[in-house]
Amino acid sequence: MNVVPDPKPGVMPVATPSLAGTVLSPEANQAAALATSTGVLTVDLDAIVANWRKLEKTAVPAECAGVVKANAYGCGVEPVGRALAAAGCKTFFVATLEEARALRAAVPPALIYVLDGFFQNAGEAYAKIDCKPVIGDLNELAEWDVFCRRSGWNGGAAIHIDTGMNRLGLTSAEAQGIIPRIKAGDHGIALVMSHLVSAEQLNSQLNAKQLTTFREIAGLFSGVPASLSNSSGVFLGAQFQFDMVRPGAALYGVNPTPEADNPMQPVVEVKARIVQIRNIERGETVGYGGTWTARRPTRLAIASAGYADGYFRAASANDGTRGADVVVAGKRCPVAGRISMDLMAVDVTDLPANAARRGHMVTLLGEGITVDELAHHFGTIGYEVLTSLGSRYARVYKGGAGPMERPAAPAASS
């Protein structure tokens, strides 16, 4: 086994000031940051906007909100929120108050709903940033009422009805029990909503059952806008769309119609740097456990990404199973051996000599490798792929308000 030196050794160019005190341009700063990064995650804000517009058009005349929880599915709540707001999105959903604070700072006019509910000590925090809790329990409703009476706050809330998920939400009987409140007026309920269990399955009987249940309950909430559909629900037809749809994963390129071609544009691209090229002989093994054996003299590119960066160990290859692919110099190349915490080996034997060199970037996500393909190799769903992408990548945003770059955080993973 031998390490192959770079055939043309040299120092990668880095933008540096020629004189002390010189201020670099944003482009030069970005070039300098990317030159020292072991990985780069690029988010296409224009693609997110295009996806939102497609969903909005599909749901007309319903309003199309934007779900930006979990840091906008790992894409960055501030830039994503600003891009969607500039495109015309007015209503947003997050999971926590902390996420709501970040979104409010980025998009001051936004109408924000917080999905994880209300606690009696959280009222002041809701009022301070003017966001609305999604209430799914009678105890929450009582605590919210107490806060509103004592404080005089009238910012409103959503009521979540459980129609089959058995996770959050009032039961049908509980929902019917608060109908007198609706008829009395001045009820403070801004939205009634539920959540689909199997929206991605077009022929699921659960879809029809939930639709019937929600339509009956929502009809009792006279004058209150209703919302049922998530990303996949948007494509189930007009009867599922009500007054508002709440797409999340589809905004970020995950296929909302897995039984058909993906109607969404890809959003995220991830690249990792080659830190070493090495040759091994036939019969040598690669990686922990020695589970992958070279069947020929093999050339390997060692890339600086692993499971600490959100590239799951499940994508590993062994002697009986092919793992995920990586794009190197425009060609798909297979992973060799187990994915490590910080590194992976890629078989580049079939590439032309010197096509892969130390310092070059390889593509882990993008160039035809979709988030859903990676999810298949990871044994999970696209949602988890996006929200697991690590914080060591330098993050670059293109489109939207213009290119931005955020240096990678020092933590190992998100």
The per-residue pLDDT for range 272-319, each reduced to its tens digit, is: 999 999 999 999 999 999 999 999 999 999 999 999 999 999 999 999
Residue pLDDT, tens place only, 52-72: 999 999 999 999 999 999 999
Cis omega (within 30 of 0) for bond into 5: no
Using alpha carbons, list the distances in angstroms from residue 3 to 38, 200, 302, 303. 20, 48, 11, 14
The more confident residue out of 238 and 119 is: 238
What is the predicted pLDDT for the residue at 16? 35
Clarify whether 113 is annotated catalytic.
no
The more confident residue out of 183 and 84 is: 84
Residue pLDDT, tens place only, 308-324: 999 999 999 999 999 99
Single-letter code of the amino acid located at 365: L
> How many CB atoms within 10 Å of residue 404?
17
Helix axes 97-106, 77-87, angle to 10 degrees: 60
Clarify whether 288 is annotated catalytic.
yes
Please give the torsion angle defined by the CA atoms of residues 300, 305, 311 and 312, in that order, rounded to the nearest 10 degrees: 70
Residue 39 has pLDDT above 80, yes or no: yes
Q: Which residue shows structure tokens 């936004």?
A: 110
Q: Note whether 134 and 97 are within 8 A (CB).
A: no
Residue pLDDT, tens place only, 358-368: 999 999 999 99
Tokens representing residue 149 in the block: 């009476």
Nearest to 252 by CA among 20, 83, 32: 83
In total, the chain counts a number of residues equal to 414
What is the predicted pLDDT for the residue at 37? 84
In the set 54, 69, 132, 271, the catalytic residue is 69
Residue 407 has pLDDT above 50, yes or no: no
d(CA 100, CA 111): 10
Residue 410 has pLDDT above 60, yes or no: no
d(CA 301, CA 278): 7
pTM for this prediction: 0.89
In the set 128, 183, 209, 288, the catalytic residue is 288
Provide the strand spans (E) within 147-240.
Answer: 157-160, 189-193, 226-227
Q: What does the pLDDT average to over 402-406?
A: 44
Tokens representing residue 279 in the block: 């040759």
Using alpha carbons, list the distances in angstroms from residue 339 to 286, 291, 310, 354. 10, 11, 11, 24
In this structure, what DSSP letter does residue 285 have? E
